[in-house]
Amino acid sequence: MDMPARSGRLEGQVAIVTGASRGIGLAIARALAAEGADLALMATDAGRLEAALGQMAGLPGRRIAIALDVTDREACRAAVAQVLDRLGRLDALVNNAGIHIARGFLEHEPADFQRLLDVNLFGVIHMTQAVLPTMLEHGYGRIVNLASTAGRWGSRNQSGYNISKHAVLGLTRCVALETAARGVTVNAICPGFVDTDMLDGIKRDYGRMGIDAEAAIGSLLAHRVPLGRALRVDELTGIAVHLASPESSAMTGQALTVDGGMLTA
């Protein structure tokens, strides 16, 4: 993986990235580090976190890794307290941790809906409530929620996932209204199809439903995405850095779509 370009825009800043051990989360963490931020990387798998730290060798700034299940409210609060203790401050939170389940609506069990909401929505709620008191006290903060184009429209065979991402966008707008006057911005990024292991998981889920996943996704990319391909993770990092930085001070409550043109096709 190539080293991100450096400019020092986030020197002296401290950021948390959840779901930071791979995929989009790791790419964003690397980009924030390249800009000089000190980082707390959080994910459920401690081994993957250590591997992620290894991939960031040579980048500036301090980094710590905290194994965390974002569905655990008290663990989220304890993790934020640890960041403040070890890194001394907190300026930005990137809520990236998430899961995907693809299944027809009638095949969805109640446990599927609950699991998707627990991770994708309540994980964002727990972490946001954990960081906000400090941010509001200091009159500054940047919260960036990774949502999805699935939070903007309906789609077949992923009703549970779509519900969770629609909820994240609603939460983003509501919290932004409550915090804007106190120096804290809250925005969301809505990626389309991104070439990560989550896309591989979607293909496996489609296969279990008897759908030719390669053909279905290939057709969607060819006919609904003008770019004609899935996004690379590095194509999301620039906007994440902007939203996590002081330069985005006039932007809050927004959901920015990065999808290769899918919503306009």
User: Which residues form the catalytic set?
Assistant: 161
| Spatial distance between the Cα atoms of 171 and 125, rounded to a whole number of angstroms | 8
On whether the CB atoms of residues 59 and 3 are closer than 8 A, the answer is yes
Measured between alpha carbons, how far is residue 19 from residues 28, 242, 249 in Å? 10, 19, 25
- 45 DSSP 8-state letter: -
Closest by CA position to 189, among listed 247, 246, 148: 148
| Spatial distance between the Cα atoms of 34 and 57, rounded to a whole number of angstroms | 11
CA atoms within 13 A on the CB side of 245: 20
Q: What angle do CA 23, 20, 80 make, to 5 degrees?
A: 160
- Bridge partners of residue 261, in order along the sequence: none
On whether the CB atoms of residues 28 and 239 are closer than 8 A, the answer is no
